[in-house]
């Protein structure tokens, strides 16, 4: 990591620490939502952006994590235990969901994960004895961290921020490790990767499992942020929303899902002054962005940087300029 990148990260973290002090309680809630969805989008970015496996089931893992955390904490189980149990359960289910990816790809895999998302929502809606059905679960307690309560918006924000930084650092370590290179090899050309000794089967399953565990943690935090959950909160619309965060920010870029989540969560808030037109304007902006920038915002930045290098060094190839 270069000194310039490190200085940018430190400055960004300082902004994230100071920013909530200038916001109202609602502003802090929106910032918390951005961090929570960023964690979920980071997991999907590993599955889709780095490993190239299409998934429309990220909201279902958020739902599994949210309900498991809510039920366990309301039964008196400490939050760290409930959170780890939710992540492990999502890891195992994600591992099993990865098996269809060994046989089908692209839109067929998208349909399978879509069906899984619908199945989870149906279970949450119909198993009233456990999930509360369509009424959901209310009064979910917020955790205590090292004996300190997180009931206030600021305290809970810093708790979520700490987990966001921890999960981002873990993901950075994964994609910089040999496992990260195998994920990219799987995305670029599975046949060639297999011929070079990459275990395609294990890599595919792990891509789903790790991405799903990130979704489970995000759901666990979302349950405590809103202190209320219902099946509607984890339907297909939410899966598409997380997918949009990854695509808009830039799939396969480390900061892509974080930037995408920032735009998807905050843009509607900035457009509320247009009253009844804000959703129409928001949808139009997304369509324009997807048409003119299919690789996402960071993809656009990358193309501009490559073009600048080619202009400075006309003898360089596109591959050399893009390094």
Report which of 261, 266, 258 is spatially closest to residue 282, judged by C-alpha positions. Answer: 266
Residue 117 in any domain: the answer is yes
Global pTM reads 0.92
Q: What is the pLDDT of residue 319?
A: 59
- Residue 320 has what pLDDT? 64
Q: What is the pLDDT of residue 7?
A: 86
CA dist 217 and 83 (Å) reads 7
**Residue showing tokens 């235990």:** 81
CA-based end-to-end distance of the chain? 14
**200 in any annotated domain:** yes
> What single-letter DSSP state applies at residue 231?
G
Domain annotation covers residue 106: yes
CA distances from 55 to 28, 46, 98, 152, 240 (A): 30, 11, 10, 35, 10
Strands 144-145, 148-149: parallel, antiparallel or unpaired by DSSP? antiparallel
Kindly report the CATH number assigned to the domain that includes residue 93. 1.10.3470
* CA 58 – CA 213 distance, rounded (Å): 10
Structure tokens at 281: 């304007």
The CA-based dihedral angle spanning residues 113, 117, 118, 122, taken in that order and rounded to the nearest 10 degrees: 140
Count of Cβ atoms closer than 10 Å to residue 79 Cβ: 19
Q: How many domains does the chain have?
A: 1
**Residue-level pLDDT at 322:** 61
What is the full per-residue pLDDT of the chain (323 aa) written as tens digits?
Answer: 677 788 888 999 999 999 999 999 999 999 999 999 999 999 999 999 999 998 899 999 999 999 999 999 999 999 889 999 999 999 999 999 988 877 877 788 888 999 999 999 999 999 999 999 999 999 999 988 777 888 899 999 999 999 999 999 999 999 999 888 899 888 888 888 888 888 888 999 999 999 999 999 999 999 999 999 999 999 988 998 999 899 889 899 999 999 999 988 887 777 777 766 766 777 787 777 777 777 788 888 888 888 887 777 776 766 566 65
Which runs of consecutive H residues, i.e. helices, occur in 75-199? 79-97, 106-126, 128-131, 153-176, 178-188, 190-195
320 part of a folded domain: no
For residue 197, what pLDDT is reported?
84
How big is the chain by its Cα radius of gyration, in Å? 20
Assigned domain for 295 exists: no
**Within a domain: 98:** yes
- Residue 308 belongs to a domain: no
CA 216 – CA 63 distance, rounded (Å):
7
| Residues spanned by the domain of 155 | 24-272
Domain presence at residue 277 = no
């Amino acid at each position: 990591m270069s000194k310039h990148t490190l200085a940018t990260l430190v400055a960004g973290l300082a902004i994230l620490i100071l920013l909530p002090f200038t916001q109202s309680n609602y502003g802090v809630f929106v910032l918390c939502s951005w961090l929570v969805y960023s964690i979920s989008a980071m997991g999907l970015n590993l599955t889709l952006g780095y490993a190239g496996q299409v998934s429309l089931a990220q909201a279902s893992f958020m739902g599994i994590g949210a309900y498991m955390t809510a039920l366990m904490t309301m039964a008196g189980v400490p939050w760290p235990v409930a959170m780890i149990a939710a992540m492990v359960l999502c890891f195992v289910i994600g591992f099993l969901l990865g098996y269809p990816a060994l046989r089908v790809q692209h839109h067929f895999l998208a349909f399978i994960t879509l069906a899984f998302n619908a199945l989870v929502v149906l279970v949450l809606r119909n198993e009233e004895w456990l999930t509360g059905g369509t009424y959901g679960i209310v009064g979910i307690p917020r955790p205590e961290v090292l004996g300190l309560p997180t009931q206030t918006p600021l305290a809970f924000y810093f708790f979520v921020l700490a987990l966001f930084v921890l999960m981002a650092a873990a993901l950075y370590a994964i994609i910089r490790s040999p496992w990260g290179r195998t994920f990219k090899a799987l995305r670029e050309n599975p046949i060639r990767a297999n011929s070079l000794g990459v275990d395609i089967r294990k890599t595919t399953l792990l891509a789903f499992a790790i991405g799903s565990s990130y979704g489970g943690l995000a759901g666990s935090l979302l349950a405590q942020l809103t202190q209320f959950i219902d099946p509607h909160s984890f339907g297909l619309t939410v899966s598409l929303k997380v997918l949009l965060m990854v695509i808009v920010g830039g799939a396969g870029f480390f900061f892509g899902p974080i930037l995408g989540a920032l735009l998807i969560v905050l843009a509607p808030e900035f457009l509320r002054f247009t009253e009844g037109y804000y959703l129409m304007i928001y949808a139009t902006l997304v369509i324009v962005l997807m048409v003119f920038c299919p690789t996402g915002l960071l993809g656009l930045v990358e193309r501009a940087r490559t073009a600048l290098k080619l202009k400075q060094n006309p003898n360089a190839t596109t591959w050399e300029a893009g390094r």
